[in-house]
């Protein structure tokens, strides 16, 4: 049985979400999409990629959640992600909520740097945006269990040098040091809350 988040924490997140993204719409990939043309186009493009890489499409549809546009939060299934008090769903919700807030704040700059700048692969701007969102995965792990184990850093790191995010920053030692520094900042209380200002690009003499 999955760990449950305390009711007061779930309610606090709901209230914060309603304040920051009042028009939030939650979508489940195994249910009909809203009648929004560009959403349907996006899922059609996923199917096109899936034609050449069925394993990638299967993973994207069944295991990956997404923030799309300024208000759509997309989960694989309602059965697996319909309960916000579930530890996994709560964590993913906080992760995707960061993306929605960043899209609202940075607009076209977010979209361009997430997709193609400075490069679509290897040195992708999405490394920065995902760093901000994965901070939530680490924060929830710390809040609930009092530690952030190396296995959590390993799991996050795989997203940086793996195929799912198209090799957005495949430099393992650099990624690991960034995640270790973020972990220490969380332990020290420097990074906390639902939307802390953390940046991938900030210079660090130790990295």
pLDDT of residue 124: 85
pLDDT tens digit at each of 207 positions of the chain:
478 999 999 999 999 999 999 999 999 999 999 999 999 999 999 999 988 999 889 988 998 899 999 999 999 999 999 999 999 999 999 999 999 999 999 999 999 998 887 777 778 899 999 999 999 999 999 999 999 999 999 999 999 988 878 889 989 999 999 999 999 999 999 999 999 999 997 655 344
Q: What SS3 string covers the chain?
A: CCCECCHHHHHHHHHHHHHHCCCCEEEECCCCCCCCHHHHHHHHHHHHHHHHCHHHHHHHHHCCCEEECCCEEEECCHHHHCCCCEHHHHHHHHHHHHHHHHHHHHCHHHHHHHHCCECCCCCECHHHHHHHHHHHHHHHHHHHHCCCCHHHHHHHHHHHHCCCCCCCCCCHHHHHHHHHHHHHHHHCCCCCCCCCCCCCCCCCCCC
Q: Is 156 exposed, middle or buried (0-12, 13-18, 19+ CB in 10 A)?
A: buried
The pLDDT, as a whole number, for residue 122 is 79
Per-residue pLDDT at 205: 38
């Amino acid at each position: 049985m999955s760990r449950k988040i305390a009711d007061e924490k779930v309610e606090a997140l709901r209230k914060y979400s309603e304040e920051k993204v009042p028009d939030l719409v939650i979508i489940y990939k195994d249910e009909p999409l809203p009648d929004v043309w560009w959403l349907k186009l996006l899922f059609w493009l996923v199917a096109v990629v899936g034609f050449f890489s069925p394993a990638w499409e299967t993973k994207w549809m069944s295991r990956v959640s997404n923030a799309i546009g300024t208000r759509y939060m997309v989960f694989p299934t309602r059965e697996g992600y319909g309960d916000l008090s579930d530890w996994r769903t709560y964590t993913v919700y906080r992760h995707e909520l960061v993306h929605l807030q960043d899209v609202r704040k940075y607009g076209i700059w977010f979209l361009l740097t997430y997709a193609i700048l400075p490069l679509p692969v290897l040195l992708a701007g999405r490394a920065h945006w995902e760093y901000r969102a994965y901070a939530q995965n680490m924060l929830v792990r710390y809040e609930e269990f009092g530690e952030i184990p190396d296995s959590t850093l390993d799991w996050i790191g795989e997203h940086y040098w793996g195929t799912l995010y198209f090799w957005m920053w495949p430099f393992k030692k650099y990624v690991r040091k960034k995640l270790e520094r973020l972990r220490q900042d969380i332990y020290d209380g420097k990074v906390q809350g639902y939307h802390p200002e953390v940046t991938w690009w900030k210079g660090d003499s130790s990295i």
